[in-house]
Structure 1
Amino acid sequence: LVNGATGYIHDTAWAAGVEDPRRKTLFVVLVKMDKYGGPACFPDDEAIPRNVVPIFQFLRGF
């Protein structure tokens, strides 16, 4: 992702209400990072490991 960080896709999700996910982009990709030492992003959900971080789509213009 950045600075040599590596990980695996843990899960994906579309925005609420998406009827045809083949025609819409993902809302978020949950990535299980190999070496993540920060705070848990989902501390109240025991089903999601501590080293899973959300990656949201965004568009940046310059």
Structure 2
Amino acid sequence: MDTSKIDVIIRKIYKKELISKLRSETDERQVFYFYSTSQKKLLDKITKEIEVLSVTN
């Protein structure tokens, strides 16, 4: 997968507010993506639900 496809996927995830974004103070072209506390909790919940579904199937 080339980086342009990855960038598109990341932007879509960001628009759905599933990750947060922070621009570099020294170079505004550089962007960092991260999970906020609430996003991390949601991700953990989704992961657990998927694991439960996997075990039952």
TM-score norm. by structure 1 comes to: 0.25
Bigger proportion of residues as strand: 1
Q: Which has the higher contact order (CA 8 A, sep 6+)?
A: 1
Q: Higher helix proportion, which one?
A: 2
Give me the TM-score of the superposition, normalised by structure 2.
0.26
